[in-house]
Amino acid sequence: MNFEYKTLKVEKRGEQVLLVTLNRPEVLNAINTQMGHDQLDLWSRITAGPDNVRAIVLTGSGERAFCAGGDLKERDGMTQAAWQAQHELFERAFVALVECTVPVIAAVSGHAFGGGLEMALCCDFAYAVANARFALSEVSLGIMPGGMGTQNLPRAVGERRAKELILTARPFSAAEALEWGVLNRVCEPGKLLDEALGTAQAIAANAPLSVRQAKKSIHYGLQMDLLTGYRFEIEAYNRLVDTEDRREGVKAFNEKRKPNFKGK
């Protein structure tokens, strides 16, 4: 695939990993209308035809911010109709990220506020530098989280803590984010991308159909009761039994060699 965007930098790291960088460092990678279009196109195209992409790392340009949230300068003076049209675009981009079939790891290179934190929460999991700060500060601006923040933050930290963080709009640290479940790992600044890309490479080395089915089973299963979720899991499992990769994985195990997975 050839990915060229005005607000995103997309690079191959190895044969099967993509590094996606939010590339508006002059405004702390704030989300504008163009970035909404770019992200919707990127995540939709990967889901429609992942080709050989097996894992993705999403980060921000520069060290100051992963993403400062919505671009309020662009929004200044917007009519209600224009604001709502823009937000509908953002909504579709967030949904496309959540439903991307390929695992996406957020590498939070600096502060993540508002829509920036919501973007990280839409990823499958997240790493961050130790000095990163986080906030859903929308209620201090007369709005509220609108990028799945009121849904994904409680799923990560629990209802009561999410209410405290969203209703006070107070920032919290990377150490707190790690303790509460927003982050999986806190990294030294110079090691963030290496660690995130290392994890992406480990994911990419596994059977891609298995990874996608497992991701889907976790994501949708959590929205069901236990037994319904288990039935969904078995449906996902059974789709893997008659695949070349399943046969290759078992054969490689018995032959004591590394499997050659082809996504078939």
Q: Token pair for residue 160? A: 């009561």
| Cβ atoms within 10 Å, residue 208 | 24
118 as an active site residue: the answer is: yes
Given 118, 164, 195, 235, the catalytic residue:
118
Res 75: pLDDT: 87
Distances (CA, A) of 11 to 18, 56, 59, 95, 229: 6, 10, 12, 23, 36
Q: What is the pLDDT of residue 172?
A: 97
State how far the alpha carbon of 155 is from the alpha carbons of 26, 101, 103, 219, 252, in Å. 32, 20, 18, 11, 38
pLDDT at position 200: 98
**Pairing mode, if any, of strands 17-22 and 8-12?**
antiparallel
pTM: 0.94
Give the CA radius of gyration of the chain: 19
Q: What is the pLDDT along the chain (264 residues), one digit of tens a residue?
A: 778 999 999 999 998 999 999 999 999 999 999 999 999 999 999 999 877 899 999 999 998 999 999 988 888 888 999 989 999 999 999 999 999 999 999 999 999 999 999 999 999 999 999 999 999 999 999 999 999 999 999 999 999 999 999 999 999 999 999 999 999 999 998 999 999 999 999 999 999 999 999 999 999 999 999 999 999 999 999 999 999 899 989 999 999 999 989 889
Give the span between the Cα atoms of 57 and 14, in whole angstroms: 12
pLDDT at 49: 86
Q: Which domains does the chain have, with CATH numbers?
A: 8-204 (3.90.226.10), 208-254 (1.10.12.10)
Q: Please identify which of the residues 91, 138, 235, 248 carries the catalytic annotation.
A: 138
Residues 135 and 117: beta-carbon distance below 8 Å: yes
Whole-angstrom CA distances from 9 to 6, 127, 190, 208 are: 8, 19, 20, 24
User: At which residue do the structure tokens 């959590």 appear?
Assistant: 222
